[in-house]
Amino acid sequence: DGGITQSPKYLFRKEGQNVTLSCEQNLNHDAMYWYRQDPGQGLRLIYYSQIVNDFQKGDIAEGYSVSREKKESFPLTVTSAQKNPTAFYLCASSIAGVRYGYTFGSGTRLTVV
């Protein structure tokens, strides 16, 4: 079945540590996205990529980094520069132009310990 796989489901980060969240899709979608959701709030865009080897900052890119070396994969690194990383992270993909909306992965819940 086609879909988006995010891993891990839960992740714990120590202060000063970098962590990487995985996102893989087999939908043959061109575009991929990372969103952050805080309790009781909407989704805020971190980074997005429309084609391989190219990506753009979203509204809250500071403290995060991404790569897009393969069409299927769009990993997100939460760096130590992100001072408040505890949140629910959602990866999504779409065809070019988002005409039919996004397909979301199941999410990664990141907690700072």
Partner 1 sequence: QKEVEQNSGPLSVPEGAIASLNCTYSDRGSQSFFWYRQYSGKSPELIMFIYSNGDKEDGRFTAQLNKASQYVSLLIRDSQPSDSATYLCAVNPGYSSASKIIFGSGTRLSIRP
Sites of contact with partner 1 (CB under 8 A): 31, 33, 35, 40-43, 45, 48, 50, 58, 90, 96-107
The least CB distance from residue 98 to partner 1, in Å, is: 5
DSSP per-residue letters across 55-107: EEE-TT-TTEEE--SBTTB--EEE-TT-S---EEEEEEEESTT-TT--EE---
Minimal distance, residue 80 CB to partner 1, in Å: 27
Cβ 34 to partner 1 shortest distance, Å: 11
